[in-house]
Amino acid sequence: MRMPRLGLGTWHMGENRARRGAEVAALTLGLDLGMPLVDTAEMYGQGGAEEVVGEALRGRRDEVFLVSKFYPHHAARKPLRAACDASLKRLGVERIDCYLYHWRGPVPLQETVSTLGELVAAGKIASWGVSNFDVGDLEELVAVPGGDRVAANQVLYNLGTRGVEFDLLAWCGERGIDVMAYSPLDEGRLVGHPVLAAIAARLGATPAQVALAWVLREPRVCAIPKAAREEHLRANRAAADLRLDESSLAELDRAFPPPRRKTALAMI
């Protein structure tokens, strides 16, 4: 089962019970619009986001490619098994489609990989991946037994943060590893840029749609923008159909230059 290209992020969801209904409605609309990838984590809202996702998924689990993430301090065998069970309970599902190591911690990779393999064998997860891993981390990962089964790497990637283009995107692409772009709109900071505004006006789109379409121009990249308002959800879905011409892409490269050297992996 391949990961869909465009989905729904849930960072900051589940933090306020007064917003629960609106958050569930937003995810439900996103699924209705054809964005079946849902990304969450045990960290978001201290489990609250997983509960929101679980409510939105009721009666339509088979429509969704579900991703969740576990803390680094849960990466050892016993805590990881317990963390997975807790996430499954909050989500109200029997299986997570791709379970991600949220960022690298001190637990030996071999122990984490071995435990993830046990969770796959038990049917609790269909696949597993990582988040915020750079090429060096991934090379260590695939060197341990079973590490080459890594299915995805979720990283910060947007027009203003292009460091992964230097080597990470190609490294993952050569090995069939999906790259998930989190914060593809740089938490909204990109939408006020004049170059994006000019291109958007020319294409009959919004600056946010241009920024999202730019991320999705890469066939090996998935994007998980978070949106809680109907107009933003509809705009995000339309961005998947927006094609940027060569002139627009060149203009964006001038405004947001691609990397010329290796830099430390950016994280939020």
Kindly calculate the radius of gyration of the chain based on its CA atoms and give it in whole angstroms.
Answer: 18
* Closest-CA residue to 6 (of 28, 32, 29, 38): 38
* H or E segment to which residue 23 belongs: helix 20-32
List beta partners, residue 67.
Answer: 39, 98
* H or E segment to which residue 97 belongs: none
Active site residues: 44
Measure the CA–CA gap between 133 and 75, rounded to whole angstroms: 15
**Proportion of the chain in helix, strand, coil states, percent, rounded to 5:** 50, 15, 35
Within 8 A by CB and 6+ apart from 239, the residues are 6, 205, 208, 209, 210, 212, 213, 216
List beta partners, residue 180.
Answer: 154, 222
Measure the CA–CA gap between 7 and 31, rounded to whole angstroms: 9
Measure the CA–CA gap between 112 and 131, rounded to whole angstroms: 14
Q: What is the DSSP string of 139-188?
A: HHHHHSTTGGG--EEEEE-BTTB-GGGTTHHHHHHHTT-EEEEESTTGGG
Show the tokens assigned to 3: 């990961």
Total Cβ atoms within 10 A of residue 202: 13
